Amino acid sequence: MIVGLPRETFPRERRVALTPAAMTTLRKLGVELLVEPEAGAAAGFGDESYTAAGAAIAADRDDVFRRADLIVQVRAAAANPAGAEADLARVRDGQTLIGTADALIRTSSLVPWVERGVTLLALELMPRITRAQSMDVLSSMATIAGYRATILAASHSTQMFPLLMTAAGTLKPAKVFVIGAGVAGLQALATAKRLGARVFACDVRPAVKEQVESLGGTFVALPGGSAEGKGGYAREVGEDVLKQQQEALRTALADCDIVICTAAVPGKPAPKLVTSQAVAGMRSGAVIVDLGAESGGNCELTKPGETIHASGVTILGPLNIASDAPRAASEMFSNNVLAFLKILIKDGRLTLNPSDECVSGTLVCQAGETKLPAVRDAIGPVKAPQQSAPSGSGEAVEGDGYSLQRD
């Protein structure tokens, strides 16, 4: 069995889905790795590091898709709209793709992939259960994002983070407020605390108060009570509650030097928690780093991918911030993928067990069928794929009702 590793083609994407260190595990699983030239170069992993580890370098991208049974990407299908059409032409019936796929965000874009007959497993849908923690790419990338957001804020701030007592006087520590105490928020808070700032955080899930305080932060409760949804994630609140939260934050942010926004609701636009009035009430020189920019932003004034200035406040809307630390992010992503492959590959063959939550929770489509209820409800019935002859010769490998071509 061959696992294919293409180079990422999403604009400014510097991560790679598998690092050379993955070869140790892949060998134990009985599979080979076929790498597109320069696939890991942007993350600091040259072709020579892959070949030294035992991987093979393909002739080109077409060669990877033609020969591989399983394709692993950071951004697959709908998560790579810039390169989706070209890759769709390369995949073959029965081929399996694993990667983040924006399955609940760009759902309609998945239709041609279903029609093509590929098996697509979307890593961002990994269930939030104990045994899946090692496969959770969202948490891994959120860890990177939270750290990077704090560093980004520090580089744009007019205020230094730590308390400094010098011959020239005493500098007060910066006041950092984190909105949303999930993985990214907690990492942002912890990083700011390590830099010497006074840290505060809010969340609609009161259960995270203990985690905030364990990191040295002060928890700020928001109006409306608990809004904890399925799997421990936050859920949407009503318009009245949202207005109460906006007002509470307007007051809380008035004397802050740094605000880091990380609030998110799975499959929904980012909640608008920081209003333009709140920004106008902040002190001049303050900085907002909005990690919700990719889904619209937690701040009303955020412009995704841009840095703007309003009322003396700098507002950053970074996109794909985990890619700004490509080596570390790739190492974490690769480890998540390997943990998943360990339950998918048995004796060198792909075996998808539909009774496994990690499989059923991430399986978007297979053999022309949408398997995920949320996707099926959104896109409706899809026509059966046209069968085409596989490239190359080989035997069909069967496993629990799923089949893939093996060279």
Q: Say which DSSP state 102 is in.
A: -
301 neighbors 279 (Cβ within 8 angstroms): yes
Catalytic member of 62, 233, 327, 376: 233
Give the CA-trace dihedral at 135, 1, 353, 111, to 10 degrees. 80
User: Is the torsion defined by CA of 250, 251, 252, 255 positive or negative?
Assistant: positive
Cα–Cα distances (Å) from 21 to 37, 99, 336, in that order, read 17, 19, 13
Residue with tokens 């180079």: 7
365: phi then psi, degrees, rounded to nearest 5: -155, 160
Q: What angle do CA 373, 378, 381 make, to 5 degrees?
A: 80
Catalytic member of 133, 277, 386, 387: 133
Catalytic member of 69, 93, 102, 136: 136
Catalytic member of 73, 95, 109, 139: 139
Catalytic annotation present for 157: no
Cα–Cα distance for residue pair 390/65, rounded to 1 Å: 11
Q: Where are the alpha helices (DSSP H) in 117-156?
A: 137-156
Strand-strand pairing, 395-399 and 402-406:
antiparallel
362 neighbors 47 (Cβ within 8 angstroms): no
Cα–Cα distance for residue pair 213/100, rounded to 1 Å: 32
Catalytic annotation present for 139: yes
Q: In one letter, which amino acid is 22?
A: A
Catalytic annotation present for 233: yes
Least Cα distance to 261 among 279, 277, 280 occurs for 279
Cα–Cα distances (Å) from 336 to 96, 132, 134, 286, in that order, read 17, 9, 6, 36
Take residue 332 and report the two structure tokens written for it. 């974490």
Q: In one letter, which amino acid is 294?
A: E
Write b or e for each residue in 226-264: b if 16 or more Cβ atoms lie within 10 A of its Cβ, otherwise e.
ebbeeeeebebbeeebbeebbebbbebbeebbbbbbbbb
Least Cα distance to 250 among 283, 221, 274 occurs for 274
Catalytic annotation present for 128: yes
Catalytic member of 128, 235, 283, 327: 128
Q: What angle do CA 350, 79, 402 make, to 5 degrees?
A: 20
Report, as residue numbers or ranges, the catalytic residues. Answer: 128, 133, 136, 139, 233
